[in-house]
Structure 1
Amino acid sequence: MRPEKIEILQLPKSVIGRVIGKAGATIKDIRERTGARIDARDQTEDPVQVLLSGTLEACEHAKALILEVADGALIAGDSREVGREAAAAAAAAAAAAVSARAASAASDATSPAVEEHLELPRHATGKVIGTKGQQIAEIRQKSGAQVDVDKSPTGCRVRFVGTQSQVDVAKAMINAIMTPPTDSGSGEYLEIPRSAVGRIIGAGGTRIQELQERSGAKIDIDRQPDRCLVRFGGFPDNVQLAKTLVTEVLEGRDRTQLAEAAATMEIPPSATGRLIGPGGRQINEIQERSGAKIDLDKGRDPCIVRMTGSADAVALAQVMIREALVLCSFSLGCKN
């Protein structure tokens, strides 16, 4: 299996409509032509961060097509989609780039670019990238280095390019992220059950985004082989509020504030083993990815699967469960 590359493009908010296209037609076409996964759902900030993932070839192809569409939008000057805002954003970006090059020209002359790599376990990928690419974008911005993440079945390789000082800063930031806390129950960390990760993140990251906006703190999920930690950052008052909100989610006390949905499915007893997976891995993954809470009642025939959470989370959980059952039906047999 080829290693997976993850890259983030920053585009002016005013060109995103052209990149996505009417009813998502343009971005869908780029996905189909390149095979890359493209996520441009978070458009709350300007510039918008577009997350690309897939093989190196797929990401490079998708990047070229997206930039071609974005450049076309800027050149066209269509006031309905681009207008003065896009031109101003492009000019500001260009000016910033020129200013940055001018400011660092003297040091670059004596400090040639270097390339270094850092090998990390596969589970570190999410921590380095962060929610919707926020963590890696912050590392790039603060260090000045180009930072790319290549994912493979066996691990995660981080590539740094820049001056030696830039690379050192970027590596130090990643090492700080990877350093496990000595006390997970106090300070800026909170240990949580692996099955609760999905509830905190929510469908498409909506829950964790809301918790960050309400608290003013930065919240990241640190998945480790033996435990999961919630990492908080910000001013003490904001961190304390964020921990309170996360605790409310874990205890279910947030349900009066967030709309809840529920659904049930019937499955044959022979399919429960496939749904649960070895050591609960399959059902935990569905909970993490969907954001829904899933309970399985094996005391009836057929067995009852209960899903609770936001409407989007429950809908996604239903799709994932059906996919697991389809795989089960095509396997040599489902064993409980």
Structure 2
Amino acid sequence: MCHNAAFGEAQDSLELGSRNAVNVVYGPNFQTIRELQDSTGCKLDIARGSTTLKLSGSNEAVSDAMARVRALLNANRGFDMTIDNSKVGAVYGKGGATLRSIQDRTGVQIDVERGPTHATVSVMGTPEASERARHMLQRAIDGEVELGPGEVAEDIELGSATAAVIGRGGSNVVDLEKRHGVKVNVRSELQVARIVGRPEKVAAATKDIEAIVKPILDAEKAQKKADEAVQSGESAWQVTPED
């Protein structure tokens, strides 16, 4: 903490570390930060785009506010979850509906940061709220989504074409969702894609996915037949004809 003698006030700062932590300090509609300022007499400020909290006021006010902010953050630690980029769409949901629903129903703050191949989902909230959010996120990732009015779900077996459907860093999934206005969740371990949305949009997205899958599976079948033919020919050649 430093003291500005010219203005007779103390100043301090705290690096919050993430946008989620910033949102926890702000609170819904900036209610939390206002209450902190009103109850401590300390001025709290976070510059746009920054994760550093600046505090100014009397020594007592700054110390009190700092202690309360630290306690608030300690009570809202949450967790980080690493997911494949192809699952980001499942976390957001159509138009961000799934993400908003989880935040509204649990009271947690959720931030998603994409990397080259994987994304980090950061959750901040009370232990109880964070645990509820964890289960809801996992259900969304696993494709256990609630259908909206008039929506349908279609499952497509992808087989060896799974990686091609996902695309580099989930790019194909993102493109399909944007182009058709559907939600596409690919379960790589099961080699299955689930498409959720209005029937006509699901049908259009299914057609596009099948256009990716069919040539790959057809080529795989053709190769398998060729291999079987070669093996069969080798076996026949190896048999010595009787005199």
TM-score between both structures, scaled by the size of structure 2: 0.42
Larger RCO (CA within 8 A; separation ≥ 6): 2
Find the structure with the greater CA-based Rg.
2
